[in-house]
A and B are shown apart, each in its own frame.
Chain A
């Protein structure tokens, strides 16, 4: 019973274009949403978050969108850079722990 799903295991995007990563969740009680980035052999690092009272949060090249009615979260990266190549995990919170998706491997093509 997967509460958080990232349906695209991988994504390739040309450098300079927009990368869009998607995440769906099932429980409407979740009220805090985060994106983490992970390089090989390293721990996840926090990227950006949004609370359920908002539908958009922007930080530089990164924007997170939240559609509560659709229970859908997305991360936009624009413009995409080679250093953005990593695995991206969405995470949701609403109780005392974060529940993670399975990750999307983003590859930026120079």
Chain B
């Protein structure tokens, strides 16, 4: 019974490169959330997706960031032309139905370092 799987666990990118972060939700979960944790800060909501739909992207920077959750395959958070300020831990969470009826389960995160 696998939980939320994120890969890679660690990702190093040079400034200007692209970063792709993957998230496979708990089997049967159709709701995926991405959060970012900057050093010494809390978890900041980025985007909420259901299969093939972006429901709420109010926390996502307007430029360079995009997310998808296709019908088949994992959810992808894509950061184009990374900058040093993108260095953070990115966490994905999934839930079977919309909170607040149930808690979201988190993956172990991808730690992005931009050099």
- Report which A residues bind B (CB closer than 8 A): 6, 31-32, 34, 36, 41-46, 49, 51, 89, 93-94, 96-103
Q: Would B108 and A42 count as touching, CB distance under 8 A? A: yes
The residues of B with any CB-CB pair to A shorter than 8 Å are 4, 6, 33, 35, 41-45, 48, 55-56, 91, 93, 98-101, 103-109, 111
Min CB gap A104→B, angstroms? 10
Question: Using Cβ atoms and an 8 Å threshold, which residues of chain A touch B44?
Answer: 100
On whether the beta carbons of B104 and A98 are closer than 8 Å, the reply is yes
Contact B100 A51 (CB under 8 A): yes
Contact B56 A96 (CB under 8 A): yes
Nearest 9 Cβ contacts at the A-B interface: A32-B100, A102-B42, A93-B100, A43-B106, A100-B43, A46-B103, A93-B99, A43-B108, A44-B106
CB nearest neighbor in B for A99: B45
Are the CB atoms of A96 and B106 closer together than 8 Å? Answer: no
B6, B43, B56 — which one has the most chain A CB atoms within 10 A of its CB?
A: B43
Given A97-B56, A99-B45, A100-B35: A45 in contact with B100 (beta carbons within 8 A): no
A25 to chain B, nearest CB (A): 13
For the complex, give the distance between the alpha carbons of A24 and B2 in Å. 34
With known contacts A43-B106, A43-B108, A96–B43 Cβ distance under 8 A: no
Q: Please, could you name 27 A-B residue pairs with CB atoms under 8 Å apart, sorted by A?
A: A6-B42, A31-B100, A32-B99, A32-B100, A36-B106, A41-B108, A43-B4, A43-B109, A44-B91, A44-B106, A46-B103, A49-B103, A51-B100, A96-B56, A96-B98, A96-B99, A97-B33, A97-B45, A97-B99, A98-B45, A98-B99, A98-B104, A100-B35, A100-B44, A100-B45, A102-B41, A103-B42
How far is B100's CA from A97's CA once the two chains are assembled, in angstroms? 8
Q: Which residue of B55, B93, B100 is within 8 Å of A94 (Cβ)?
A: B100
- Tell me which residues across on chain B come within 8 A of A6, comparing CB atoms: 42
Given contacts A43-B106, A44-B106, A100-B43, 19 further A-B contacts (CB under 8 A): A32-B99, A34-B103, A36-B106, A41-B109, A44-B43, A44-B91, A45-B106, A49-B103, A93-B100, A97-B45, A97-B99, A98-B33, A98-B45, A98-B93, A98-B104, A99-B45, A100-B45, A102-B41, A103-B42
